[in-house]
Structure 1
């Protein structure tokens, strides 16, 4: 299979006006665990090997601070930096020792649409917590809004070495490993965060996690259903700060033989929003939440 310089999506940095409430939600309800505190930020791990999957920061408004990816080797930093600049991005910080608790070497860039992207190598990892049956294992994907989704997808391909897996009328799906997608780019009127998806062990655990959310007073915002591109099961929620988050499972695994499909092939019957035909149309308040989170700064 193609060698990707970026090997995986690792974590997101979120700004929240009520840090204590956000921490309580993600630990006691969503299913993460505090692994570190540093310079006012709270680092939360899932059940897999990543040091953390969410870093919460105090901010005046809900915002996406950064998206972090893991690179394959230290040599990949040089190629990535050159390509980022050639494709209209900016090097905010060259590869340096990372002072945060996850360690390793880190490079920070700003994409053409304004969002910060962090690339790490040699970061701290954990032994997988196999007992976390109905808790997230890692991030599955991050969905970003873009005023020019094709241009943003091209940046991920040409600057970062991702591959375009599928393109629907509204979204471009790009990958950096065998997962069908690590990043989804949605056509939107603004740039920013659409939602963050957390991988659960299987469909059963998506349902059990969704039940825990409902018991805690957080209704399903969209779903449960099965997506088209990626074939993954989904259940969407809105967290206390207004971030749209997703439990997902059974993400399609692909290789170089996967056949790209475009908007003319990804067509649902009228009124249908998922493969099964059971997910209701997305409510207006959910659509509004998916375009409400800007990039920091």
Structure 2
């Protein structure tokens, strides 16, 4: 260890930043968003999307011929908005501002207009565009959906610490009810430029940086980024961002009650014939218990439970990126999860690698070698 690692030992990363490395936060962000609000998608078949969503654990908050809103059991806005369209696409991400004044401040700083949101949602929003061309909406004052009945965590006996007597454990094999939207993972060809944009515009702060083995001097290639709520601890990451050959959605994650709920819900999905991508396991960065699934349109979605929470005092950790380093326990990361199994998506990503190497971005031959080492590690 070096002198920079002491503050991180036993916390979340063996190593802290070296002199001159990225600080992981902006000194004067325009606003500090509070959390994710929702994600937006388009899909051609809303019936199929709703059937999977309900099996995954969402509750339908709104359904029309052209629109589907999905929610969790926690109060607040819907987690996912899906609009009917000829093609399946990821439409963008919405963040919840502290209040209307933050939305107005962002609009003034970026030259954008504040617009009323649809009546089904309520409130106002400003639409921004990140350096990759992705839509980022910042919203406030929406209608608040009431909390729904939630699943109850199991009561555990640990050795001589007996909490349950004359009672059995029988977690039902049923959908793992989504409580809330936890995070989204994005890939960017101009990773550092995009990272800085999110830190400066939205006040997000980095929990952990990853770098390619042997390339730390070139800087990070992935960051796990959380909301800055001062002394109030927030999710280890609300956004994770990685360097890659295309600008795309990677996956989104939704919190469920506990491990039993997650596992039983996974068995429910498996019996219905849905595709598990990877799981069950426990991550290293963020510590979440995870289980990844493919929806019928190919989007990767995650059930998670028991994630880390950090307040604003914790500085970023630094670690090398490896496939084996994605989990503390669980099965090895699958080819499907890593995006290297034979599929239309992997073929598209391979073509993008070739194209990206000839373009002006951060994904060059050295970075490609680093990425290939990750997928084989």
TM bucket (normalised to shorter chain) is 0.7 to 0.9
Residue in structure 2 matching 1:243, options 285, 294, 299: 299
Residue of structure 2 equivalent to 1:256: 312
DSSP 3-state at the match of 1:240: coil
Residue of structure 2 equivalent to 1:6: 33
Residue of structure 1 equivalent to 2:356: none
Higher strand share: 1
TM-score, normalised by the number of residues in structure 2: 0.69
Mapped contact 1:153–1:174 kept (Cα < 8 A): no
1:203 aligns with 2:255: no
What does 1:131-150 align with in structure 2 at a 5 Å threshold?
131-132=150-151, 134-150=176-192
* Structure 1 residues not aligned, in runs of 5+: none
What does 1:207-218 align with in structure 2 at a 5 Å threshold?
207-218=263-274
**Alpha carbons of structure 1 residues 285 and 46: separation in structure 2 relative to 1, 3 Å:** closer
DSSP 3-state at the match of 1:75: helix
Q: Deviations over 1:197-231 (max 9, x none)?
A: 11112222221221111111123211211111111
Q: Deviations over 1:46-91 (max 9, x none)?
A: 11112311111122222111211110011112332355x3xxxx73
Residue in structure 2 matching 1:155, options 197, 204, 217: 197
Residue in structure 2 matching 1:194, options 245, 250, 273: 250
Residue of structure 1 equivalent to 2:16: none
What does 1:104-123 align with in structure 2 at a 5 Å threshold?
104-123=123-142
Q: Give the number of aligned pairs.
A: 281
Q: Deviations over 1:145-167 (max 9, x none)?
A: 11122221111101111111111
Give me the CA root mean square deviation: 2.6
**CA separation in 1, counterparts of 2:123 and 2:286?**
31
* Structure 2 residues not aligned, in runs of 5+: 1-26, 153-175, 212-220, 229-233, 350-377
Residue of structure 2 equivalent to 1:19: 46
TM-score, normalised by the number of residues in structure 1: 0.86
**CA separation in 1, counterparts of 2:273 and 2:137?**
34
Q: CA offset at residue 127 of structure 1?
A: 2.3
DSSP 3-state at the match of 1:9: strand
1:126 aligns with 2:152: no
Mapped contact 1:190–1:291 kept (Cα < 8 A): no
DSSP 3-state at the match of 2:183: strand
1:287 aligns with 2:314: no
Q: CA offset at residue 171 of structure 1?
A: 2.0
Mapped contact 1:144–1:195 kept (Cα < 8 A): yes
Mapped contact 2:107–2:114 kept (Cα < 8 A): no
From the CA coordinates, give the structure whose radius of gyration is larger: 2
